[in-house]
Amino acid sequence: MTIIQPTKQNIQKVSRELLCGEVVSIPTETVYGLAADSTNADAIKKIYRIKNRPEINPLIAHFFSLEQIEQQVEINTTVEKLAAKFWPGPLTIVLKKKTNCQIDNLATAGLATVAVRIPVHPVTLKLLELVEIPLVAPSANPSGRLSCVTAEQVQKLLGNKINWVLDGGQCQIGLESTVIDLSEGQPSLLRYGAISVYQLENICGKILLPEKNQSIKSPGMLLKHYAPKCPIRLSFDNPRVNEALIAFGCSIPDLPFARIVNLSEKGDLEEAASRLFSVLHDLEESGVDSIAVMPIPEEGIGKAINDRLSRAAANFLPDSL
Ligand code: TXA
Ligand code: MG
């Protein structure tokens, strides 16, 4: 696999690869994606195979503009307001397909809906403008593993499975987009992300939260996900042998951890979010036997950080829990 710089020629080259049915990793402001032509079933099949992702778990379609989105799905004034406020940016909206929707059924797992977003990363926006078709792109990682926020991390996890990663530098936000379902009556949140529930409710009114929504509508909301190779626990009492601590803020406990990595010494949640996956990638390579985590405030993007951490920790709980 080759990491390529986002020159004009390379972006053109990637657009040709995608239009020929190849799968290429692309940068976004949230995490790196594994992109393919959303209208090409063979290309989409490759994504599921490369990620070892169950075909019942649908993909997000990425667009260049709201006009392009309108050709595929039903939009309304709430969508227009959200679009005006948050697009391009880290928000994904699940909407009903139009009857002539060109997004392949395989990408949407046969559902009557599509998850759509306009990313803000300039390299990928340029690419979307060039290809002129929506690109499906799940996060560029094997199913269940850590998401990637650098081209090198994609190389580490998928290096033997794809030919190209378009290098867009370190992802600015560092956590996957907020996902909201507007395809039915009451808006419901499917995944926490950088755009907070408070920001969304200002526009859409009351939103049903995942904790309150018993039926899992989005397989990304499954309990076990985003996991490093070693066990992770959401407490930091009684350090274990060869355990690392993920710290937050300026008052760090004086305890004998093998390593301490601070997500943000100044207690800045945005900084912590942008560093989380890189810290987990580094720690899983560092030879520590387990990871302990200090509490992160449940405010704004802190909610999304805790969501990812609790799923990573759930990976090591027995299945019955
Ligand atoms: O930030 C992001 O959203 C990144 C970048 C690459 O854009 N993509 C990403 O994709 O995180 P993925 O596939 O890892 O997560 C997509 C989530 C999954 O939880 C999936 O189940 C849900 O969106 N999803 C996709 N289409 C859906 C649909 N029609 N209805 C409900 N959930 C859907
Ligand atoms: Mg993912």
pLDDT band with cut points at 50, 70 and 90 for residue 224: low
Strand partners, 4: 166
**pLDDT at residue 219 tops 90:** no
**According to the model, what pLDDT value does residue 111 have?**
97
| Residue 215, number of CB atoms within 10 A of its CB | 4
Q: What's the whole-number mean pLDDT along residues 36-56?
A: 97
To test the pocket of ligand 1, the residue of 92, 172, 208 to mutate (highest count of ligand atoms within 8 Å of its CB) is: 92
**According to the model, what pLDDT value does residue 218 have?**
60
* Ligand 2 mean position, distance from CA 138 (Å): 6
With a 6 Å cutoff on the Cβ, whether 58 touches ligand 1 is: yes
pLDDT band with cut points at 50, 70 and 90 for residue 226: confident
**According to the model, what pLDDT value does residue 132 have?**
98
Query: How long, in residues, is the chain?
Result: 321
Find out whether 274 and 250 touch, Cβ atoms under 8 Å. no
**According to the model, what pLDDT value does residue 14 have?**
98
Residues contacting 266, CB < 8 A, separation 6+? 249, 250
* Ligand 1 mean position, distance from CA 286 (Å): 30
Phi, psi of 108 (to 5 degrees): -105, 15
Average pLDDT in the chain: 94
* Ligand 2 mean position, distance from CA 190 (Å): 13
For 169-198, how does the pLDDT look when each residue is reduced to its tens digit (9 = 90+)?
Answer: 999 999 999 999 999 989 999 999 999 999
Q: What's the whole-number mean pLDDT along residues 74-85?
A: 98
For residue 30, the ligand 1 atom closest to its alpha carbon is 1
* Ligand 1 mean position, distance from CA 92 (Å): 8
Q: What's the whole-number mean pLDDT along residues 241-263?
A: 97
| Residue 137, number of CB atoms within 10 A of its CB | 26
For 10-35, how does the pLDDT look when each residue is reduced to its tens digit (9 = 90+)?
Answer: 999 999 999 999 999 999 999 999 99
Phi, psi of 310 (to 5 degrees): -70, -30
For 84-141, how does the pLDDT look when each residue is reduced to its tens digit (9 = 90+)?
Answer: 999 999 999 999 999 999 999 999 999 999 999 999 999 999 999 999 999 999 999 9
**According to the model, what pLDDT value does residue 317 have?**
61
Prediction pTM value: 0.96
For residue 141, the ligand 1 atom closest to its alpha carbon is 14
Q: Which ligand does the CA of 95 lie closest to?
A: 1
**According to the model, what pLDDT value does residue 314 have?**
86
